[in-house]
Homo-oligomer: A and B are copies of this chain.
Amino acid sequence: MLKNDLLLRAAKGLEVERAPVWLMRQAGRVLPEYRATRSKAKNFIEFVKNPELACEVTIQPVDILNVDAAIIFSDILVIPEAMGLPYQMIESKGPWFEHTVKNKNDIDNLIIADAEKLNYVIKAIQLTKKELDNRVPLIGFAGAPWTIFAYMIEGSGSKTFSKAKQFLYTQPELSHQLLEKITLSTINYLKAQVSAGADIVQLFDSWAGVLSEKMYYEFSLNYISKICDALSPLVPVTVFAKDAHYATQKISETSCHSIGLDWTMNPETARKFSSNKTLQGNADPCLLYAEESKIIEETQIMLRAFGKNRYICNLGHGLYPDIDKQKVKLFVDVVKEFTW
């Protein structure tokens, strides 16, 4: 039995004493303790593949920041790798794929990944669950199929993802074939995460915002919806589609439990379009650069706007590495001490 199950109750729409709080990228460079652990691995990929190190950094924010949940340390690009498309993480540049998907043959050569290929994540989850000792829930996650597709075609990050979008526009059938393979791999992967102990899962659609509304429904939300249907009977599912401001209502029509919002979204408007779901977010990460009184004031405004129930407090995007750890702690404390 979890000692603190606020996150799960909030996600399911049950009564809570206060809103739970965690932060995207809480297991990250914002913590000096993370950087110390990170330095034990030769490179980022080795780091991700080491269950002991992954466990260590996953638990750090629970100990140090006192957040209401841990999120397993990993990377969304483990899925392309497990499907047959390895990548490197290049310092201060981001991910880079030597081979990208260009045609039908490339898609046919990819496998539908099973959990065995991602055993290092599964081991990390098992280890973390043991070490957490039921203090807080453990969040599992995966990239949404469109975001994974975008990297597999583009081969790296991009301002426009115009190559990936060109593929959608010129090869819609092949696009669906690839998205289907990614979706099946992701379902296998998330189910294994749940079997290993993940209490809730989140889908990150980081590049949702480069698609038009119509393209988003066809090439992204369709597949997110399938993953929600496969996972939501097992654990709560959160969908975070960054910059897909137009999609709140359609996301609320999937079987997900909660919807992540970036900081450009208005809490009241989002509530109107998704009254049946829990909302998660959405402070501007840059707010944590501000002085203390400003952080307190803006966080309290946000808490009031969302209300106590059906709400998970978070940022609207991941923590930036140069944010002061004390400011992050302050944010967490403000949420925990807020009088509802």
**Interface residues of A, Cβ cutoff 8 Å to B:** 159-160, 162, 165-166, 168-170, 209, 211-213, 215, 243-246, 263-266, 269, 284-287, 289-291, 294, 316, 320, 322
Residue pair B284, A215 in contact (C-beta under 8 Å): yes
Question: Smallest distance from the beta carbon of A175 to chain B beta carbons, Å?
Answer: 12
Question: Smallest distance from the beta carbon of A215 to chain B beta carbons, Å?
Answer: 7
Given contacts A160-B320, A246-B245, A264-B246, are A170 and B291 in contact (CB under 8 A)?
yes
B-chain residues with CB within 8 Å of residue A212 when the two chains form the complex: 263-264, 284, 316
Question: Smallest distance from the beta carbon of A37 to chain B beta carbons, Å?
Answer: 24
Given contacts A162-B285, A320-B160, A320-B162, are A266 and B170 in contact (CB under 8 A)?
no
Residue pair A289, B243 in contact (C-beta under 8 Å): no
Residue pair B243, A169 in contact (C-beta under 8 Å): no
Given contacts A264-B209, A294-B169, are A286 and B245 in contact (CB under 8 A)?
no
Residue pair A289, B165 in contact (C-beta under 8 Å): yes
Closest B residue to A283 using CB positions: B212
Residue pair A286, B162 in contact (C-beta under 8 Å): yes
Residue pair A166, B286 in contact (C-beta under 8 Å): yes
A294 to B162, CA, bound (A): 17
B-chain residues with CB within 8 Å of residue A290 when the two chains form the complex: 169-170
Closest B residue to A320 using CB positions: B162
Residue pair B215, A243 in contact (C-beta under 8 Å): no
Question: Smallest distance from the beta carbon of A268 to chain B beta carbons, Å?
Answer: 11
B-chain residues with CB within 8 Å of residue A166 when the two chains form the complex: 286, 289
Residue pair A165, B286 in contact (C-beta under 8 Å): yes
B-chain residues with CB within 8 Å of residue A269 when the two chains form the complex: 246
B-chain residues with CB within 8 Å of residue A213 when the two chains form the complex: 264, 266
Cross-chain contact of A170 among B209, B289, B316 (Cβ < 8 A): B289
Question: Smallest distance from the beta carbon of A28 to chain B beta carbons, Å?
Answer: 14
Residue pair A287, B209 in contact (C-beta under 8 Å): no
Question: Smallest distance from the beta carbon of A293 to chain B beta carbons, Å?
Answer: 12
Question: Smallest distance from the beta carbon of A119 to chain B beta carbons, Å?
Answer: 33
Question: Smallest distance from the beta carbon of A303 to chain B beta carbons, Å?
Answer: 15
A284 to B162, CA, bound (A): 10
Given contacts A264-B209, A320-B160, are A289 and B245 in contact (CB under 8 A)?
no
B-chain residues with CB within 8 Å of residue A245 when the two chains form the complex: 245-246, 264
Q: Give me 18 A-to-B residue pairs in the complex whose CB atoms sit less than 8 angstroms apart, sorted by A's number.
A: A159-B159, A162-B285, A162-B289, A162-B322, A165-B286, A168-B286, A169-B287, A169-B289, A170-B291, A209-B243, A209-B264, A211-B264, A212-B284, A212-B316, A243-B264, A244-B264, A246-B265, A246-B269
